Chains A and B, each alone.
Chain A
Amino acid sequence: MDRAQIVHQNFLDRVAAGALPPKGAAAGAGEKAGLAPETAVAIYRAQVLSRALDITSRAMQKAGQGFYTIGSSGHEGMAAVARALRPDDMAFLHYRDAAFQIARADQVPGQRIAWDMLLSFACSSEDPTSGGRHKVLGSKALMIPPQTSTIASHLPKAVGAAYSIGAAKRHAPEHRILPHDGIVMCSFGDASANHSTAQGAINTAAWTSVQSIPLPLLFVCEDNGIGISTKTPKGWIETSMSARPGIKYFKTDGLDLYQAHAVAQEAADYVRRRRKPAFLHLRTVRLYGHAGADVPTTYLSKSEVEADEANDPLLHSVRLLQEAAALSPAGGSEDLYRDLCPRGEDPRRGGDAPASQIRCRGGGQPDPANARL
């Protein structure tokens, strides 16, 4: 069976049975208090929508209507990071950050993020990001410049954009778009952190910071422990990044939306107030393998794949929301999932907008039901 289907079924079965994954380094009461229940639920909703879109993108590809299957599943903790930032903080995103973009869209009025992302999957000429040129995260309104981000080549410009905030304070260009108290965020995976381009950018940020030149930049490393099929050595990111001069290191668990939000907030506050770079190390898992055509069980043991699947961040979120009395599974988190993820059961059946019809509906105009997704 397809891993996406397995993960989907796992979710339904385990929520129904109340067999939720145990807490890791669980969030303290303070962290939970820092996040209003409605915001926590909004984060969960963004996480589920991200998952639903992953499932849909695969269904669309099978139907010959979608052209990109690298998903964000396992990285849904980025929704909590988005909520720790302001929507006018420019974000150069990792390609697994659909949950970030969805959560940010919730912070900006007038967005129709699900529809926009579906247009992007379809490479529709109506895709508001690229006009159908590529399936890429990005949005002018959300201050997310689109780019490929596969080899960390977006990190040097994130350093440049962060530098420009201080420079614009002294000489504001007529067409300045970043606010003076803004920060810049860039995210990347644990594997691409090894790229010389990433290392160069991190080095440049440190070199700049130790000279007390303002550089409000938040690096976010989404550590799922593997780059396509090559594992990251245990503790590699932490040992190599935690003691860089001029860059403050923060570590958190992306499976725990409360903790991720609290630590991301702390890191963002540090960057915003001190105008210095920080490195946020976010633990994630990777579900479904690298991309649609990648079968992770060819290079990982079944038990390793299943261990990650058992740590599905959505299951953790269901537990955490229940513990925080923000949303109970029955009539709450489970229903929300069932509402958004019907296509996991059968992409051509169920739900009010089967993937195979998405492009046809309303002649390209978002159906209100879809726009709400």
Chain B
Amino acid sequence: MLQHGEIVMMGEDVGRKGGVYGVTQKLHQRFGSDRMIDTLLDEQSILGLAIGMGHNGFVPMPEIQFLAYLHNAEDQLRGEAATLPFFSNGQFTNPMVLRIAGLGYQKGFGGHFHNDNSLAVLRDIPGIVIACPSDGAEAAMMLREAVRLAREEQRVGVFVEPIALYPMRDLHGEKDGGWMRHYPAPDQSIALGEVGQHGAGEDLAIVTYGNGRYLSAQAQPELEARGITSRIVDLRWLAPLPAEALIAATRGCKNVLIVDECRTTGSQSEALMALFAEQSDIATARIAAEDCFIATGPAYAATLPSKDSILAAALDLVGENA
């Protein structure tokens, strides 16, 4: 926002409160009410505000508080924002970076509504970019790219922020700080289509994103201990699917395990299975969340992939193809 005066943010509570999870804290004091717009409780109006401001040269970054709240307003994205460049043959555009706090694994709060774990409603919209970062540093670098895409290519981008990773500090044990990151220098960014790779093992490539990367990173040392070398390939950009980069990042691997925290039906894992079936000969399997809504309370993770289920699926796959 310092660099680009045309960026404005809007949403319920983005200003004075600093966003539903505090992501935009203190920006209101810094940039004022006219760039940090507290809106009324209507997601269609939030997206409408963003689209309309985009028509007039602004680069809006609206926030929708939860994935479930996108659903009542989704037509503004699908029917309006995404179609304007299509209908106008590129003469009119409404660039934006839509931030949505979402996905599962949130302890102590939520349930089927607030922890909705499906992106199906976004995945099939032609032309939009869907980003899902898996740690703080990558989030900053990917957000810079999303802003660049909006400013320079007039793209409509959706930035899905995994709620459960907001407070995440540790990876393997208490106070290990394994998921803490340094804020990346302002000139660093992650290009659209650039996937992340962690580890260089060839027995197994775990292809995942968001919380799935975190859980897979937990499982990685245990695989190592069992003599299985692995790498984690983080999609980062869920749409357009970085097909070439994924094929390149898994080349030479004996097995591919797709870990998808979204529901089996309609999730990215369907596209990934198709991709590996069509474009590679590597043995491929997937685990995804069950086709069930998420419960509130202690059962919050019952339907979701876990470190243990990733481990079990990996051992199955590698064992079968040993």
Show the binding face of A for B, using Cβ within 8 Å. Answer: 90, 129-131, 133-134, 136, 138, 140, 145-148, 151, 153-165, 167-168, 170-171, 173-178, 184, 197, 200-201, 203-204, 207
Among A130, A145, A151, A176, which residue has the most Cβ atoms of chain B within 10 A?
A145
Residue from the list B40, B76, B87, B92 in contact with A133, Cβ < 8 A:
B87
CA distance in complex: A200, B47 (Å)? 12
- Asked if B246 is at the interface of the complex by the 8 Å CB criterion, the answer is no
4 additional contacts, CB 8 Å, given A160-B52, A164-B53?
A: A157-B48, A173-B58, A178-B55, A201-B44
10 example contacts (A-B, Cβ-Cβ < 8 A) are as follows: A146-B87, A156-B47, A167-B34, A167-B53, A173-B56, A175-B57, A176-B56, A176-B57, A201-B48, A207-B40
CA distance in complex: A247, B44 (Å)? 20
Whether B76 lies near A146 (C-beta < 8 A) is no
Residue from the list A133, A136, A168 in contact with B56, Cβ < 8 A:
A168
Residues in B with CB closer than 8 Å to A160 are 48-55
Residues in A with CB closer than 8 Å to B94 are 157
Residue from the list A157, A165, A168 in contact with B51, Cβ < 8 A:
A157
- Asked if B108 is at the interface of the complex by the 8 Å CB criterion, the answer is no
Residues in B with CB closer than 8 Å to A177 are 55-57
Residues in A with CB closer than 8 Å to B80 are 147, 153-154, 156-157
- Asked if B16 is at the interface of the complex by the 8 Å CB criterion, the answer is no
Whether A156 lies near B58 (C-beta < 8 A) is no
Chain B 86-101 interface residues, beta-carbon cutoff 8 Å to A: 86-89, 91-92, 94
Given the known interface contacts A147-B80, A153-B80, A204-B40, the answer about A161 and B87 at a Cβ–Cβ threshold of 8 Å is: no
- Asked if B17 is at the interface of the complex by the 8 Å CB criterion, the answer is no
Residue from the list B5, B83, B89 in contact with A171, Cβ < 8 A:
B5
- Asked if B289 is at the interface of the complex by the 8 Å CB criterion, the answer is no
Residue from the list B6, B34, B83 in contact with A173, Cβ < 8 A:
B6
CA distance in complex: A151, B58 (Å)? 26
CA distance in complex: A165, B56 (Å)? 8
Interface string of B46-87 (1 = CB under 8 A from A): 011111111111110000000000000001100110011011
- Asked if B144 is at the interface of the complex by the 8 Å CB criterion, the answer is no
CA distance in complex: A133, B89 (Å)? 8
- Asked if B35 is at the interface of the complex by the 8 Å CB criterion, the answer is yes
Given the known interface contacts A133-B89, A147-B80, A153-B76, the answer about A170 and B55 at a Cβ–Cβ threshold of 8 Å is: no
Residues in A with CB closer than 8 Å to B55 are 90, 145, 157, 160-161, 164, 177-178
Among A145, A156, A158, A204, which residue has the most Cβ atoms of chain B within 10 A?
A156
CA distance in complex: A148, B87 (Å)? 9
- Asked if B29 is at the interface of the complex by the 8 Å CB criterion, the answer is no
- Asked if B42 is at the interface of the complex by the 8 Å CB criterion, the answer is yes
3 tightest A-B CB contacts, nearest first: A160-B52, A156-B48, A161-B52
B20 to chain A, nearest CB (A): 20
- Asked if B317 is at the interface of the complex by the 8 Å CB criterion, the answer is no
Residues in B with CB closer than 8 Å to A197 are 44, 75
Residue from the list A133, A156, A178 in contact with B44, Cβ < 8 A:
A156
Whether B79 lies near A153 (C-beta < 8 A) is yes
Given the known interface contacts A154-B80, A156-B47, the answer about A161 and B92 at a Cβ–Cβ threshold of 8 Å is: no
Residues in A with CB closer than 8 Å to B44 are 156, 197, 200-201
Residues in B with CB closer than 8 Å to A168 are 56-58
Residues in B with CB closer than 8 Å to A159 are 45, 48-49, 52
Residue from the list A153, A158, A170, A173 in contact with B75, Cβ < 8 A:
A153
A225 to chain B, nearest CB (A): 26
B88 to chain A, nearest CB (A): 5
Whether B50 lies near A170 (C-beta < 8 A) is no
CA distance in complex: A204, B10 (Å)? 14
Whether A146 lies near B45 (C-beta < 8 A) is no
A331 to chain B, nearest CB (A): 41
- Asked if B206 is at the interface of the complex by the 8 Å CB criterion, the answer is no
Interface string of B1-16 (1 = CB under 8 A from A): 0000110100000000
CA distance in complex: A206, B62 (Å)? 21
Whether A173 lies near B87 (C-beta < 8 A) is no
Residues in B with CB closer than 8 Å to A178 are 55-56
Whether B45 lies near A140 (C-beta < 8 A) is no
Residues in B with CB closer than 8 Å to A146 are 84, 87-88, 92
Among A147, A148, A207, which residue has the most Cβ atoms of chain B within 10 A?
A147
Residues in A with CB closer than 8 Å to B45 are 156, 159, 200-201, 204
Given the known interface contacts A157-B51, A171-B6, the answer about A133 and B57 at a Cβ–Cβ threshold of 8 Å is: no
Whether A136 lies near B57 (C-beta < 8 A) is no
A195 to chain B, nearest CB (A): 10
Whether B84 lies near A145 (C-beta < 8 A) is yes
Given the known interface contacts A133-B86, A145-B84, the answer about A167 and B8 at a Cβ–Cβ threshold of 8 Å is: yes
Whether B53 lies near A161 (C-beta < 8 A) is yes
CA distance in complex: A157, B44 (Å)? 9
Whether B88 lies near A130 (C-beta < 8 A) is yes
B242 to chain A, nearest CB (A): 27
Whether B42 lies near A204 (C-beta < 8 A) is yes
In the complex, which residue of chain A has the Cβ closest to the Cβ of B87? Answer: A146
Whether A156 lies near B57 (C-beta < 8 A) is no
Whether B48 lies near A173 (C-beta < 8 A) is no
CA distance in complex: A144, B51 (Å)? 15
CA distance in complex: A160, B252 (Å)? 51
B31 to chain A, nearest CB (A): 9
CA distance in complex: A147, B159 (Å)? 25
Residue from the list B53, B75, B88 in contact with A138, Cβ < 8 A:
B88
Residues in A with CB closer than 8 Å to B49 are 156, 159-160, 163
CA distance in complex: A138, B83 (Å)? 13
B204 to chain A, nearest CB (A): 45
